[in-house]
Amino acid sequence: MLDILRRIIQEVNSAADLDQALGIIVQRVRESVAVDVASVYLKTADTGEFVLSATEGLRKDAVGHVRLAASEGLVGMVGEREEPVNLEDAPSHPRYRFTKGTGENPYHAFLGVPIIQHGTVLGVLVVRQRQHRRFAEDEEAFLVTLAAQLAGAISHAGASGEISHVLQASEGVSVTLKGLPGAPGVAIGQALVVYPPANLEAIPDRSVKDADTEIENFRVAVTAVQDDIRDYANRMSSILPAEELALFDALLLMLGGDSLIGETVERIRAGNWAPGALRETIGEHVRVFESMEDSYMRERASDIRDLGRRILTHIQGDRPAIGAAYPRTVLVGEEISIGQLAEIPHESLAGIVSVSGSSSSHVAILAQAMGVPAVMGVEDMPVGRLEGQAIIADGYRGDVFVNPSELVREEFLRLQTQESKLTEVLQHVSRQPSVTPDGVNIPLYLNIGLVSGIENEVHANGDGVGLYRTEIPFLMQDRFPGEEFQLRTYRKALEAFAPRPVTLRTLDVGGDKMLPYFPVIEDNPFLGWRGIRISLDHPEIFLTQIRAMMRASVGLNNLTIMLPMVSTVTELDNALVLINQAQGELLEEGELVVRPPVGIMIEVPSAIYQIGAMAKRVDFFSIGTNDLTQYLLAVDRNNSRVAGLYQSLHPAVLGAIKQVIDQAHILGKPVSVCGEMAGDPAAVLALMGLGVNSLSMSASNLPRIKWVIRSFTREEARDLLEQAWQLESPREIRELYNAVLEQGGLGGLVRAGN
């Protein structure tokens, strides 16, 4: 059963469009459950009707014509109950409706299972049989499993089909895809599809002008792979037995034969570029092998995939780096890396649309810092079909419009104009002090480090830097940067902001931030070797960093050091020993270093309960709400499937922050917030009520947050918090704060937020 399931899902996943996907489903289900009829009814988004969308066994001409109201008949009942309905004799059931024109007369046994994705019923999968019988438990379980796995493929194929329809249409028909707000703003531009190197599946189609040169390059790449394989075979000949060596011959045979190469060349001649043509050919051959009964032959599919990847690597060998493909580039990809963002000149980068991730992924945070609109988690986006298409990304609502109509375009252009007016107003506010109307000063610091050039950020009127993510200098190198390199990097930031304080956070890699030269492969990276844990296990790296930080501050003395991911007092003690050691060594070497204030991030729940012990050892706390929210709510900050649960205005998160601030204040230690919450106007109102001492955020959020602070007294914020404590759901709490912002005339600042 598992094998059959896997094969059906693979076939459906590689279907070109929804019709083909549904056709495969009904055909395979009818064969594998041995029934007379297998049908899929899809639910329409507007009327909620169930439309017969594919069938094996009923009359084909009924497809698209048989429509059942939302709760009509047995199909409606399955949709309504959201559970399987298994009947021995369907016609005798009170909800049974006979539908004319399907030729369904003689069927008695009925089993319908809902197709549900993210809590929404997309359709119903139905099997029927002439005889009277109740379907067995394992048959029902099989269909339920299949339907659960197919839901994603069905909605993906639907979106993919719609897009290909749009691409074929000469007049643009707008297709809307749903994602999550990643960074605020509206991007209007052209899609530039980016993909990881040698990831054949992610290669887009692209048209080619000079087919002959493309074919020549392709052939050169194939020859290079043949040479590689011969090399491997030679090297292995003394190690491997002859049978195993035959595998290399088989690979060479495939590369020499006409099918893989000839078909790819044909496709290039038809207008696709070599990587796209190769993807199609390899995909087709892989499908043939994967559908074979013999498990040995099925395994050969992976050899073909591997050959495809090898050829691609050679083709890409002389691929130029991505550049400004379009004047208004919207980067589109399965997963967009920080490096890819950096490759696009800032002035051409209009927006980002990513299949994976959410608003708290580092790429989204970077986009916020750069003021670039981003939509994340667009799961149904057929990336490979979007190259060069006109695209609008609405980073406020998480919508993406492909090939938008003129009307939609105009509406978004209007929104962009409104937005720049609001920015002007905010620019004015940003030069005022960050003080509430009742005189409470709440300094606003900047989060920097994700953007390489700090020059622009210095002028953003921040009171200093509250979080410098030092990972980025590490990410930009091909080895651990040495003390002198780090010294120069940190000195630049400290000088640029002096005499304002600059908080340098020690290395926080692990989780979703991996150094290319220091890979950490773990099942649970967010619960693994991260942040301070790595630093303490590698004192040589930590000491180098601390020394560079302290030396960078000589004569300026505006350095503050912050430690990430601290979960136990022992970790803190060990880190302090190393900080003291670094300072001692530097003094001995004659460097006039002074001991900077040292603080920790509160982002692991265990730290909340040890504030007393921690406060005795540090000068300040800064709450990292991005991680604190994920660890407290057990919601992966990068997983779009659970992004709806990632709520920083959750009563538990607010309760935790309250505990930290109250405890720290009793012990006389200030508390800042440096997670994304600090840049979210509604959340800032809550933090003001909780008594936070300062905030640190992306430069692009600073003006709006200053506006909030200058608009509400601390008393008002405290009263609001009293009301918020009465509420039990994050949604209600956000609504409360949004309503207050609207009343205060700050409606333009209200966004979906997290």
Which residue minimizes CB distance to Mg ion?
627
CA atoms of 130 and 105, how far apart (whole Å): 9
* Annotation says 538 is catalytic: no
Which of these ranges, 202-210, 484-492, 551-559, 620-628, lies near ligand PEP under the rule CB under 6 A?
A: 620-628
SS (H, E, C) 332-372: EECCCCHHHHHHCCHHHEEEEEECCCCCCCHHHHHHHHHCC
The number of angstroms, rounded, from the C-alpha of 469 to the middle of its chain's C-alpha atoms is 20
Work out how close the CB of 642 gets to Mg ion at its nearest, in angstroms, rounded to a whole number.
18
- Identify which of residues 190 and 626 has a Cβ nearer to ligand PEP in the complex: 626
Q: Which of 603, 636, 680, 716 binds ligand PEP (CB under 6 A)?
A: 603
Contacts of 225 (CB under 8 A, 6+ apart): 255, 307, 310, 311, 314
Alpha carbon 625 to chain centroid, angstroms: 18
Nearest distance from C-beta of residue 627 to Mg ion, angstroms: 4
Stretch that binds ligand PEP, among 49-57, 112-120, 381-389, 622-630 (CB under 6 A): 622-630
Nearer to Mg ion, 637 or 650 (CB): 637
Cα–Cα–Cα angle for 224, 229, 235, rounded to 5 degrees: 125
Q: Does 214 bind ligand PEP (CB under 6 A)?
A: no
Nearest approach, Cβ of 528 to Mg ion (angstroms)?
A: 14
Which one of Mg ion, ligand PEP, none is in contact with 674 (Cβ closer than 5 to 8 A by kind)? Answer: ligand PEP
Smallest distance, ligand PEP to C-beta of residue 476, A: 16
Which residue, 368 or 625, has its beta carbon nearer to ligand PEP?
625
Residue 256's region, left for phi above 0, alpha for psi from -120 to 50, else beta, is: alpha
Q: Is 139 in the site for ligand PEP (CB under 6 A)?
A: no
Closest separation between CB of residue 702 and Mg ion, Å? 20
Which of 156, 314, 362, 650 is flagged as catalytic? 362
Give the Cα-Cα-Cα angle 441, 466, 750 (nearest 5 degrees): 70
Q: Which does 191 bind (CB under 5 to 8 A by kind): Mg ion, ligand PEP, none?
A: none
Shortest Cβ distance from residue 668 to Mg ion (Å)? Answer: 25
Select from 318-326, 338-346, 618-626, 705-713 the region that touches ligand PEP (CB under 6 A). 618-626
What is the C-alpha to C-alpha distance for residues 216 and 274, in angstroms, rounded to an integer?
10
Q: How far is CA 117 from CA 147, 153, 581, 641, 736, in A?
A: 10, 10, 55, 10, 30
Angle at 489 between CA 486 and CA 495, to 5 degrees: 130
* Chain centroid, CA 147 distance in Å: 25
Question: At its nearest, how many Å lie between ligand PEP and the CB of residue 534?
Answer: 14
Residue 244: CB atoms within 10 Å? 10
CA distance 371 to 327: 17
Catalytic residue check, 346: no
Cβ closest to Mg ion, residue 194 vs residue 653: 653
Nearer Cβ to Mg ion, position 167 or 673? 673
Q: CB–CB of 633/645 below 8 Å?
A: yes
Question: Between β-strands 502-505 and 559-563, what pairing exists: parallel, antiparallel or unpaired?
Answer: parallel
Count of residues making up the chain: 754
CB of 565 to Mg ion, least distance (A): 7
Q: Where are the alpha helices (DSSP H) in 557-635?
A: 569-588, 605-608, 611-615, 625-633
**CB under 5 to 8 A by kind: which of Mg ion, ligand PEP, none does 625 bind?**
ligand PEP
Does residue 624 touch ligand PEP according to CB under 6 A?
yes
Q: Which stretch binds ligand PEP (CB under 6 A): 70-78, 128-136, 326-334, 619-627?
A: 619-627
Which CB, 443 or 624, lies closer to ligand PEP?
624
Stretch that binds ligand PEP, among 280-288, 305-313, 624-632, 640-648 (CB under 6 A): 624-632
Of the ranges 48-56, 88-96, 268-276, 623-631, which one interacts with ligand PEP (CB under 6 A)?
Answer: 623-631
Half-sphere exposure of 57 (CA within 13 A, CB side): 24
Q: Rounded to the nearest 10 degrees, how much is the dihedral formed by the CA atoms of 423, 425, 426, 429?
A: 160
Extract the tokens encoding 466.
């509250």
- Contact partner, 675, from Mg ion, ligand PEP, none, Cβ < 5-8 Å per class: ligand PEP
**Residue 531 CB-half CA count within 13 A:** 23
- Residue 387 or 676: the one with the smaller Cβ distance to Mg ion is 676
Residue with tokens 């017969």: 52
CB 518 to ligand PEP: min, Å = 17
Q: Choose the one of Mg ion, ligand PEP, none that binds residue 491, judging by a C-beta under 5 to 8 angstroms depending on kind.
A: none
Inter-residue contact 107 to 128 (CB < 8 Å): yes
Q: Which is nearer to ligand PEP, 12 or 674 (CB)?
A: 674
Q: List the interface residues with ligand PEP, window 653-692 (CB under 6 A).
A: 674-675
Q: How far is the CB of 429 from ligand PEP (least distance, A)?
A: 24
Contact 706, 655 (CB under 8 A): no
With CB under 5 to 8 Å by kind, the binding choice for 469 among ligand PEP, Mg ion, none is ligand PEP
The residues, ordered by sequence, that sit 6+ positions from 537 with a Cβ below 8 Å of its Cβ are 529
In whole angstroms, how close is the CB of 457 to ligand PEP at the nearest point?
A: 16
CA–CA gap between residue 247 and residue 481 (Å, rounded): 43
> Residue count at the site for ligand PEP (CB under 6 A)?
10
264 binds, among ligand PEP, Mg ion, none (CB under 5 to 8 A by kind): none
Q: Which two tokens stand for residue 38?
A: 């297998």
Provide the CA 461 distance to its chain's centre, in angstroms.
Answer: 31
* CB closer to ligand PEP, 112 vs 624: 624
Q: Which stretch binds ligand PEP (CB under 6 A): 206-214, 298-306, 621-629, 740-748?
A: 621-629
Rounded to 5 degrees, φ, ψ at 72 are -90, 135
Query: Would you count residue 711 as binding ligand PEP (CB under 6 A)?
Result: no
Q: Does 625 bind ligand PEP (CB under 6 A)?
A: yes
Q: Does 357 bind ligand PEP (CB under 6 A)?
A: no
Maximum Cα interatomic distance, the chain, rounded to a whole number of Å: 96
Candidate ranges 38-46, 289-297, 429-437, 625-633; the one touching ligand PEP (CB under 6 A): 625-633
Determine, following the binding rule CB under 6 A, whether residue 104 of this chain makes contact with ligand PEP.
Answer: no
Residue type for position 662: D
- Cβ-based nearer residue to ligand PEP, 57 or 462: 462
By beta-carbon proximity to ligand PEP, the closer residue of 74 and 448 is 448
Residue type, 267: R
Tokens of 285: 């051959």
Residue 139 interacting entry, from ligand PEP, Mg ion, none, C-beta within 5 to 8 Å by type: none
Tell me the CA end-to-end span of the chain in Å, nearest whole number: 41
Question: Which among 624, 707, 661, 176 has a CA at the least distance from the CA of 365?
Answer: 624
What residues line the site for Mg ion (CB under 5 A)? 603, 624, 627
627 scored as a contact of ligand PEP (CB under 6 A): yes
CB of 415 to ligand PEP, least distance (A): 29
- Residue 177 contact, options Mg ion, ligand PEP, none, Cβ 5-8 Å cut-off depending on partner type: none
Q: How far is CA 76 from CA 18, 65, 155, in A?
A: 22, 16, 20
Amino acid at position 240, single letter: L
Among 354, 366, 414, which residue's Cα sits nearest to residue 186? 414
Taking the least distance from each CB to ligand PEP, the nearer of 274 and 366 is 366
The b-or-e profile of 534-550 (16+ CB within 10 A means b, else e) is bbbeebebbbbbbbbbb
What is the three-class DSSP state of 204? Answer: coil
Work out how close the CB of 353 gets to ligand PEP at its nearest, in angstroms, rounded to a whole number. Answer: 21
Asked if 508 touches ligand PEP (CB under 6 A), the answer is: yes
**Pick from 558, 626, 698, 701: which binds ligand PEP (CB under 6 A)?**
626
Q: Which residues bind ligand PEP (CB under 6 A)?
A: 467, 469, 508, 603, 624-627, 674-675
Catalytic residue numbers read: 362, 674
